[in-house]
Structure 1
Amino acid sequence: MRADHGPVVPAELSPGVRGWVVTDYATLISWSRDTTTFTHDARLWRDFTEGRIGPDDPLLPMMAPRASALFLDGAEHQRLRRAITDALGAVTPAHLASVTTRYADRLIDEFCARGRADLLNEYARMLPLLVMNDLFGMDEDQGLRFVAAMRNLWAGVDAERSNAEAERALSEVVDAKHREPGDDLTSRLIRHRAGLSDEEVIMQLLLVIAAANEPTAALIDSALRAVLADPSLRVPGGPSPAALSDLVERVLWRDPPITNYPVIYPRVDVPLDNGRVIEAGSPILLAFAAANHFFQRENAEQVADGANRAHVAWGAGPHRCPARDEATAIATIATRRILERLPDPALAVPPEDLRWRLATLSWSPVSLPVRFTPQAPAAPAPEPEPAPAPPAEPARGGAVPALSNLLKRLLVRRG
């Protein structure tokens, strides 16, 4: 496609919906930073505003205008983004590591004695859900419904219904936190000095939790596949923290968790070097995977050891993912705990037999079957002394007592 069209490729995004895909690293970064020529504001999407996008189009829930930091620019973007970063900033790295490690160990305990597991659906997709349940104060049912709906949205499956279900689950969370605020990210967004409306709180939750669930699961899956392909990393006790950090960065170069998203729109017609013109209001997908791929081809030595972290896996410019450090930390801990708990993991099928689900905005694995020597579950750690907490604190991590039940229910719904 690059040979025929250059670094910016015309594409049919869904039946009858035209747009563009920017695959060049330097162009993607430049356009992401150029907020004068380009905007994330989908109200400029001409086909949408002129009524040419049908209500059942699978792109609509991921591209239609929202009161979200991802879909706004300027002062409004800064106001909403500040609320998100302040809420996330209250979660210390130590607390995030503790929560992630606890849930990772409990998930591993569910399958370690079997000697086999689907590390995608039994682990990688479960762990971000449980961590987000805890940090955002969601209960088991809300978390289950939300993550199932978001997975369908990323895959373009039953988009209208999935979007409605995701928003409904988050609305219930916000209502509950109005009644009983707690020490959680949802309550912090509600009471933030930016004065977010309930709709704005729901939209920021939708943005952050969506980014923290399926993309983080995909990153964990990619990191685990990289470990399974490299025997030097499967050493007693697992690789060093530096080696594991470099591995995750290499994965973010080679296999970023988000493929062709988000979307920007030119405010004016943009001429290309090949004589074509991107008309104002045309959607342009940011192809993070392609941009990283072509940069790697031309600069292989610079990114081979994982020390170069200039990839665009988390975006570029003012809309760069605000939760990138949290997602990377969860993925790194998830990978380390597998290597520390399971001494000899190996793919249960040839690599070429792994299956993928392809969609316009992303491609996602279907499963990651692994075999290993059966291990006894870890001895339960003593419960910490309870600390004083706001009234709603007991609801945090509501999925913990019913972890086996939650796992089974999500596996049933995963299709």
Structure 2
Amino acid sequence: MAAPSTYQRPNYANKLLTRDTSSVLPPPPRYPTQVAYAAAAANGMAVPTIETNNLLSHPEGPEHRFQVGEGTYVLKNSLHLATPPPHPSEAPIINTNPLAVTPTPPTSGVKVSLCIIQPKKPAPQLYKVTTSTTLGSDRRPYSIKESEKESRLSADNASDEGAGNLSVDGSLPSTSAPAFGEGNIALGPAGTKDGLKRRKPKNNIIKSNSSFVSRVIPHETLAKRISDRDPAGIFAFANINRAYQWLDLTSNIMAEPMAKILFTKAHVLTHDVNELTKSTSHLDVAMGTSAGDIIWYEPISQKYARINKNGVINASPVSKISWVPGSENLFLAAHFDGHLVVYDKEKEDAAFIPEEGAQPDRERQEGEHTRLNVVKSVNSKIQKTNPVATADTSQ
């Protein structure tokens, strides 16, 4: 049975990522039994390596066309991401019934993020996402007149002529929101010898001997593919079970990942790419896993760092992760236990002890909605280690 067709906007109509989820397909291949695998590894014998590959097809026919008002969308390329087999050390799922009460490791299916390093023509913004730290000093707040009789509340009316026009990028001017943690000196960037150069993680993920990472498979011509590609092309990052793939959708060999990471037991549940720091020589990717560990990954240099290692700050899985708008270092992670935690990619971890007086606890009144209980404020002066801030939404 063929996978259901999916159609996207014209910019991405010829670059399609899907996962075949038909129930009639066989499950991915498995390694030998845990006992046999462990015995072979202990005796220095060669252990089998099972690899699954992506499939690229070029479907034809009227069923692969989608006609709408602005034209007809044609499916040119269909890319099916391969499901990796479970790791040999991973306990097999005995009961596959989704209604079974037996606890199973959390999974999230497939999540894909697209990234264009240098767009040829940036799309006009409908709203402003800049903060006061990213806004230029020559930009003034803009006020809108509700009627012709109402005067603007600007102190400089004489110089406000023409302020009602759209800005250069096609967006409406607006007042900027304060940056997250603005005013807290403890959150200021530390001086480095590198100056303005982007800081990268310290560990090479390809040569890593960590038991958390099972295997990394970079493309044999990775450096050449990076140097020869068009900066306006589309990168894709996809997590599927315990695998994380980095793909180039503008390449003729898009089915071959630029790099693929296979984790030992943890599944990557969510990831996000920092749009502020992206360049031809640097990308910041944050991944949240089912083990609670967070991976800061820089794919160009194949460097990585583990944050919240072994759940030192929060041991519950990460359901959602996102970079803080306008920030190069901070990202927000939502954990399964209801905690929202802000991490700094460059800070070390430390066992977290809730601060006294962050926000007093009180009993929730009947009918009152769940409130946000701040456990550590971003305005705290204790910012040498992670977390930067945390809140509990489970109460």
TM-score bracket for the superposition, by shorter chain length: under 0.3
Larger strand proportion, structure 1 or 2?
A: 2
TM (normalized to structure 2)?
0.24
Name which one, 1 or 2, has greater alpha-carbon Rg: 2
Larger helix proportion, structure 1 or 2?
A: 1
